[in-house]
Chains A and B, each alone.
Chain A
């Protein structure tokens, strides 16, 4: 406090503001350079994902055949032609535009999957943790089964099984993949919430809430979940890179986003045959994936340190 007043001469000490948990955590997050870098990356990616189609110099599916023909039918290299800054693929499609389209897919996957995860994981975990006993046992065995089942196999099975239904065709087949990835990744959040509730429900403030006649539902929703939200935010943020990677992996093997739409995974798959002659076709989407994964991981780690300062230094 003293140093602060010294560095700000003439500024009276203002009345102490209400400092919630969040303000506290934000203060700690701001001091973490790596987390800030991650946040910047996440912000740029989100920006690209939301406004990408507006920023893109070309629509993602348009083939600039004239440019390719002029280049002896070869893909344009980055910076070779000012109208295609990052070059084109062998069909004359603008790489930058396709990367931006891929960003949109990846950002959607990042958030839709986590919504699915929260939608399933939080209620299941809350029910298991709150009621305990037999309900808890059954729900946790179900989660164990989901946890033990090979993710990729499960997603592929779902994608194939529902491919021809209306649900499978929704959003160009992407929705199905999103939901499938979500269905394999809610386990962590469910276990987290359950563990938190198991310990939180024994606290005295729950007893106090009961003693003033608060209903079970309100105790869980208003009293317990806000106390459990910190670790969940961390888990969700750290779950995003996993989801992005899963989507890219699936796209790479041809499940999910269908051409002509681009995903970073399909871009790599498309570029792979030419990797010796035109490495940028695979390297550029690879860089995007790596950037996205690192940004979210850094931010997630930073959030964990910020929301649970006791944990820091123990690891």
Chain B
């Protein structure tokens, strides 16, 4: 009893300590995730592919950030790099830092990283048909992360699995634990994937095109589910998609990626209302609209993203850009601040002194 007394703090002291803790935590990182100058290259026989090239962004606690762009512009590799799951060889993270909740993931030991995956960072993959193991039951696959990270008893983890399955909207959850993935429909399987991603209350979920393999009605349900559950659990989401409609509906902020670079970043309103990069214009313009004239052709951005081998010092979008001038071919523009706070774009034409007002 006497010892307990000596351990007690006066209210002043207690307040001081919590304040200090809060301040040091805030000083360490106001953001859950801070990616700085991340570069992931693939070393192929044809040369070095700069799949992710000098990418920086941050993600606040509980925030939903979109990462949009065409196929092959480095969105998925960015997500894989964050969890250090880039297949090596041929891929390697060559530079940068990924500070997650105050810890630089790129400096962590492989074992430390493994303890983080699934616990602090959940992953939802594109294709629920292939990301579940066909020979293991659903119950086992959800319980795997729980047993791996939370050290629960068999009974407790079983209860948690049932609770999770019910939470992601699978009816008769208890009866379906011993079912195999082939007994679930595509949407159900994606729900299972979400249950796996949420199983250990992660701080961040990386959702890599979570609805691409699903049809449109199921897509809406799954997105709704992700959005509701991430709010409920206070989970931050990095949503990778090539569907701007999804990004507009789900995200607080959006990063537009092109050819391994972030070319524009800003709040979702700014990106959709006042984008300052011809690539973003092209992406937005290629969305089909309800008021389109029937029979008109769908608009596209001509050409393909460049090969990311031996990239010259030039705007990477210039071969496909209708506004490109010599300046675009001579030097690559930097991400520069635009009118709204937090809005950055990588374009000579729309920058100060550019030829597009």
Q: Which residues of A contact B (CB under 8 A)?
A: 16, 18-21, 203-205, 207-215, 222-223, 226-227
Instruction: Tell whether A212 pairs with B118 under 8 Å between CB atoms, given A18-B183, A204-B130, A205-B133.
Output: yes
**Is the CB–CB distance between A213 and B114 below 8 Å?**
yes
CA distance A16 to B117 in the complex (A): 35
**Is the CB–CB distance between B135 and A208 below 8 Å?**
no
**Is the CB–CB distance between B144 and A211 below 8 Å?**
no
**Is the CB–CB distance between A211 and B135 below 8 Å?**
no
**Is the CB–CB distance between A214 and B136 below 8 Å?**
no
Most chain-B CB neighbours within 10 Å: which of A213, A215, A222? A213
Partner of A208, one of B114, B116, B123, B137: B123
Identify 23 residue pairs between A and B in the complex whose beta-carbon atoms are under 8 Å apart, listed by A's number: A18-B183, A19-B183, A21-B134, A21-B135, A21-B180, A204-B125, A205-B130, A205-B133, A205-B134, A208-B193, A209-B144, A210-B117, A211-B83, A211-B85, A211-B122, A213-B117, A213-B149, A214-B118, A214-B148, A222-B136, A223-B133, A223-B136, A227-B133
CA distance A222 to B183 in the complex (A): 20
> Is B145 interfacial (CB-CB < 8 Å)?
yes
Extra pairs beyond A21-B180, A208-B193 (8, CB < 8 Å): A207-B125, A211-B122, A212-B145, A212-B148, A213-B117, A213-B118, A214-B148, A227-B133
Say what secondary structure dominates the interface of chain A.
Answer: helix
CA distance A209 to B143 in the complex (A): 12
Tell me the minimal C-beta distance from B266 to chain A in angstroms.
29
How many B residues, CB 8 Å from partner?
A: 31
- Please give, as numbers and ranges, the residues of chain A lying within 8 Å of B119 by CB-CB distance: 213
**Is the CB–CB distance between A207 and B131 below 8 Å?**
yes
> Is B322 interfacial (CB-CB < 8 Å)?
no
Tell me the minimal C-beta distance from B70 to chain A in angstroms.
21
CA distance A146 to B101 in the complex (A): 53
> Is B132 interfacial (CB-CB < 8 Å)?
yes
- Chain B residue nearest in CB terms to A215: B114
Instruction: Tell whether A214 pairs with B125 under 8 Å between CB atoms, given A21-B135, A205-B130, A227-B133.
Output: no
Q: Which residues of B contact A (CB under 8 A)?
A: 83, 85, 114-119, 122-123, 125, 127, 130-137, 144-145, 148-149, 178-180, 183, 193, 196, 199
Tell me the minimal C-beta distance from B144 to chain A in angstroms.
6
Q: Which 7 A-B pairs have the closest CB atoms?
A: A212-B118, A211-B123, A213-B117, A213-B118, A212-B145, A208-B131, A204-B130
Instruction: Tell whether A203 pairs with B136 under 8 Å between CB atoms, given A20-B180, A213-B119, A214-B148.
Output: no
CA distance A19 to B135 in the complex (A): 11
Instruction: Tell whether A18 pairs with B178 under 8 Å between CB atoms, given A210-B85, A211-B83, A226-B135.
Output: yes
**Is the CB–CB distance between A226 and B136 below 8 Å?**
yes
- Please give, as numbers and ranges, the residues of chain A lying within 8 Å of B115 by CB-CB distance: 213
Tell me the minimal C-beta distance from A211 to chain B in angstroms.
4
- Please give, as numbers and ranges, the residues of chain A lying within 8 Å of B196 by CB-CB distance: 208, 212
Most chain-A CB neighbours within 10 Å: which of B133, B136, B149? B133
CA distance A226 to B130 in the complex (A): 16
**Is the CB–CB distance between B144 and A214 below 8 Å?**
yes
- Please give, as numbers and ranges, the residues of chain A lying within 8 Å of B122 by CB-CB distance: 211-212
CA distance A212 to B131 in the complex (A): 12
- Chain B residue nearest in CB terms to A224: B133
Tell me the minimal C-beta distance from B136 to chain A in angstroms.
7
**Is the CB–CB distance between A213 and B125 below 8 Å?**
no
- Please give, as numbers and ranges, the residues of chain B lying within 8 Å of A19 by CB-CB distance: 180, 183
Most chain-B CB neighbours within 10 Å: which of A205, A207, A212, A215? A212
Tell me the minimal C-beta distance from A276 to chain B in angstroms.
57
- Please give, as numbers and ranges, the residues of chain B lying within 8 Å of A208 by CB-CB distance: 123, 125, 131-132, 193, 196
Tell me the minimal C-beta distance from A22 to chain B in angstroms.
10
**Is the CB–CB distance between B135 and A204 below 8 Å?**
no
Tell me the minimal C-beta distance from A13 to chain B in angstroms.
16
- Please give, as numbers and ranges, the residues of chain B lying within 8 Å of A213 by CB-CB distance: 114-119, 145, 148-149
- Please give, as numbers and ranges, the residues of chain A lying within 8 Å of B118 by CB-CB distance: 211-214
CA distance A19 to B183 in the complex (A): 8
- Please give, as numbers and ranges, the residues of chain A lying within 8 Å of B193 by CB-CB distance: 208
- Chain A residue nearest in CB terms to B123: A211
**Is the CB–CB distance between A204 and B127 below 8 Å?**
yes
- Chain B residue nearest in CB terms to A20: B180
**Is the CB–CB distance between A211 and B117 below 8 Å?**
yes
Instruction: Tell whether A212 pairs with B85 under 8 Å between CB atoms, given A18-B180, A204-B130.
Output: no
- Please give, as numbers and ranges, the residues of chain A lying within 8 Å of B180 by CB-CB distance: 18-21
- Chain B residue nearest in CB terms to A18: B178
- Please give, as numbers and ranges, the residues of chain A lying within 8 Å of B133 by CB-CB distance: 205, 209, 223, 226-227
- Chain B residue nearest in CB terms to A206: B133
- Please give, as numbers and ranges, the residues of chain B lying within 8 Å of A205 by CB-CB distance: 130-134
- Please give, as numbers and ranges, the residues of chain A lying within 8 Å of B149 by CB-CB distance: 213
**Is the CB–CB distance between A204 and B144 below 8 Å?**
no
Tell me the minimal C-beta distance from A27 to chain B in angstroms.
15
CA distance A213 to B115 in the complex (A): 6
Instruction: Tell whether A227 pairs with B135 under 8 Å between CB atoms, given A211-B117, A212-B123.
Output: yes
CA distance A284 to B41 in the complex (A): 69
**Is the CB–CB distance between B178 and A203 below 8 Å?**
no
- Chain B residue nearest in CB terms to A223: B133
**Is the CB–CB distance between A204 and B136 below 8 Å?**
no
CA distance A223 to B131 in the complex (A): 12
Tell me the minimal C-beta distance from B294 to chain A in angstroms.
39
- Please give, as numbers and ranges, the residues of chain A lying within 8 Å of B134 by CB-CB distance: 21, 205, 227
- Please give, as numbers and ranges, the residues of chain B lying within 8 Å of A212 by CB-CB distance: 117-118, 122-123, 144-145, 148, 196, 199
- Please give, as numbers and ranges, the residues of chain A lying within 8 Å of B179 by CB-CB distance: 18
CA distance A212 to B132 in the complex (A): 12
Tell me the minimal C-beta distance from B177 to chain A in angstroms.
9
- Please give, as numbers and ranges, the residues of chain B lying within 8 Å of A226 by CB-CB distance: 133, 135-136
- Please give, as numbers and ranges, the residues of chain B lying within 8 Å of A209 by CB-CB distance: 133, 144
CA distance A2 to B65 in the complex (A): 51
- Chain A residue nearest in CB terms to B146: A212
CA distance A17 to B127 in the complex (A): 26
